[in-house]
Each structure stands twice: as C-alpha cells, then as structure tokens.
Amino acid sequence: EPEVTQTPSHQVTQMGQEVILRCVPISNHLYFYWYRQILGQKVEFLVSFYNNEISEKSEIFDDQFSVERPDGSNFTLKIRSTKLEDSAMYFCASSESRVTNTGELFFGEGSRLTVL
C-alpha cells in the first residue's frame, strides 16, 4: 500500500539551529501539507502546497518556516532558527485532490523535533 514516508523519525537540535524535515508523499498525489502537534495538543495546520507554490498557510507558518519540493519526490519543511516552542511532532500529508473534495489526507508517521 502506498504511504507517505518521513525522515528523520526523531531529531534533537539546539535552539537557533536550522532543521530540515523531509517527506516523500504518495507518488500520484498532487497536494502536500505540513501539520504539527505539540505534545498533548491538537494537530495544527501549517501549510498546504500545490503546483510548486504555497496555496495556504497558517499564522504559525512565519518567516522562520519554508517549504520546498526540490525534486519530483521530496517535500521538505525547513525551520531556519529553531526555538524551544518548535518542539513538536511534525506530520507531512498528501492528497490526490483538494482536501475539500474528499477530505482524505494521507499522513506520514511524523518527525519528532526536540529543541534544547
């Protein structure tokens, strides 16, 4: 069964360091997303991406965050200068069509980021 894969599964970093989280979406999917979940809190939308452009982003997704699809398979989330409050599980997701149509996002298993 096709799946979304994420690396690394866990990353520990020092405050102020740059972090890149990587995702390989399902191959025929066109829409890509990043969500985060701080421990014990809700799954929060960060950004959606389509046709090599950000289609929507949340207030959380400030100038410290960026996304890129550097090649035909990877979708990355970069945090330029990490803060303690960036510690969370980051989920990548993809969908075949707009989420409004089917609602089915396929999530990866997540990358846990710990900022010290």
Partner 1 sequence: RKEVEQDPGPFNVPEGATVAFNCTYSNSASQSFFWYRQDCRKEPKLLMSVYSSGNEDGRFTAQLNRASQYISLLIRDSKLSDSATYLCGLTGGGNKLTFGTGTQLKVEL
| Interatomic CA distance for residues 79 and 66, integer angstroms | 7
* Candidates 16-24, 54-62, 65-73, 76-84; binding stretch for partner 1 (CB under 8 A): 54-62
CA atoms within 13 A on the CB side of 68: 9
- Asked if residue 104 binds partner 1 (CB under 8 A), the reply is yes
Site for partner 1 in 55-94 (CB under 8 A): 55-56, 58, 89, 91
- Asked if residue 43 binds partner 1 (CB under 8 A), the reply is yes
Burial of 52 (0-12, 13-18, 19+ CB in 10 A): exposed
Identity of the residue, 14 or 40, whose beta carbon is nearer to partner 1 in the bound complex = 40
